[in-house]
Amino acid sequence: MDLPHTDPRWSDVDDYIVAHLIGEDPVLEACLAANAAAGLPPIDVSATQGRMLELLARAIQAKNILEIGTLGGYSTICLARSLSDEGRLVTLELEPDFAAVARENIERAGQGRRVEILVGEAIQSLTDIRKSDATPFDFVFIDADKQNYAAYLDHAVQLARPGAMLIFDNVVREGGIVDPQSDDPKVPGTRELYQALVNHPKVDATAVQTVGSKKWDGFLLAIVR
Ligand code: SAH
Ligand code: DHB
Ligand code: MG
């Protein structure tokens, strides 16, 4: 049986949640407007998801956050808000034009001082960070190209402290991960992530499906042992 892959109530419920639990956020709205004006794809995390990221990072008192996939900095701003004054966030973005939009959005959000954007292939930036004597990360949000998700897991585990939290976005893809007929090019990389996590020696993980303004998708949450 084919289930509907979207339902207008999903967005209505997101609006309801925002109205009650989050409220207006002129800074994040300006970020989305700037992204749209610059022609960035509208694939940022939603407002409810962004707040969830902020609260998860706050819950573990993250001081060093790594993000893979900046786009216009929407999720970056959410995560940076969880940080105390000494906190730092490094975010990796392939596209220089996207990074420039993000930089402006992050500055406007008052988070410029604690956020560093590294432009280039994330795998290269991760290799560079591993060669440096950077402080281990407490929290890693992975949201870039899905074909590299398994490689990002390896890097994240190496760069994170024991107890660190890793969150991967887009791990359900409207059910594509269990659909043998799926022609979504992002599905194989996502499956490789799950495969890499079967009896993984260093992380405990789960994934939670979500519906909302971003349709049917999900987050994978892992803790480094
Ligand atoms: N986290 C953002 C959305 C990220 S969209 C938010 O929620 O606001 C995914 C981003 O990953 C895009 O900006 C894309 O350019 C970037 N990306 C794709 N492949 C990449 C790669 N190989 N290295 C670094 N960034 C990459
Ligand atoms: C896409 C990427 C994302 O990170 C996302 O959250 C939604 C869609 C995409 O590339 O289609
Ligand atoms: Mg995403």
pLDDT tens, N- to C-terminus, the chain (225 residues): 455 678 999 999 999 999 999 999 999 999 999 999 999 999 999 999 999 999 999 999 999 999 999 999 999 999 999 999 999 999 999 999 999 999 999 999 999 999 999 999 999 999 999 999 889 999 999 999 999 999 999 999 999 999 999 999 999 999 999 999 999 999 999 999 999 999 999 999 999 999 999 999 999 999 999
Q: What is the pLDDT of residue 181?
A: 94
Closest ligand 2 atom, CA of 71?
4
Q: Is the Cβ atom of 44 under 6 angstroms away from ligand 2?
A: no
| 217-224 and 160-169 beta bridge pairing | antiparallel
Long-range contacts at 184-188 (CB < 8 A, ≥ 24 apart): 185/147, 186/146, 186/147, 187/146, 188/147
Which residue in the block uniquely carries the two structure tokens 């998700």? 149
Closest ligand 2 atom, CA of 45?
6
Nearest residue to 220 via CA among 162, 150, 125, 115:
150
The beta-strand segments (E) located in 158-211 are 160-169, 203-210
Q: What is the pLDDT of residue 199?
A: 97
Distance 169 CA to ligand 3 centre (A): 5
| 137-142 and 88-93 beta bridge pairing | unpaired
Closest ligand 2 atom, CA of 143?
4
CA atoms within 13 A on the CB side of 15: 5
Q: What is the DSSP letter of 136?
A: P
CA atoms within 13 A on the CB side of 114: 21
Q: What is the pLDDT of residue 1?
A: 46
Q: What is the pLDDT of residue 4?
A: 63
- pTM of the shown model: 0.98
Looking at ligand 1, which residue's alpha carbon is closest to its atom 22?
Answer: 121
Q: Is the Cβ atom of 67 under 6 angstroms away from ligand 2?
A: no
Rounded distance between C-alpha atoms, residue 123 and residue 116, angstroms: 16
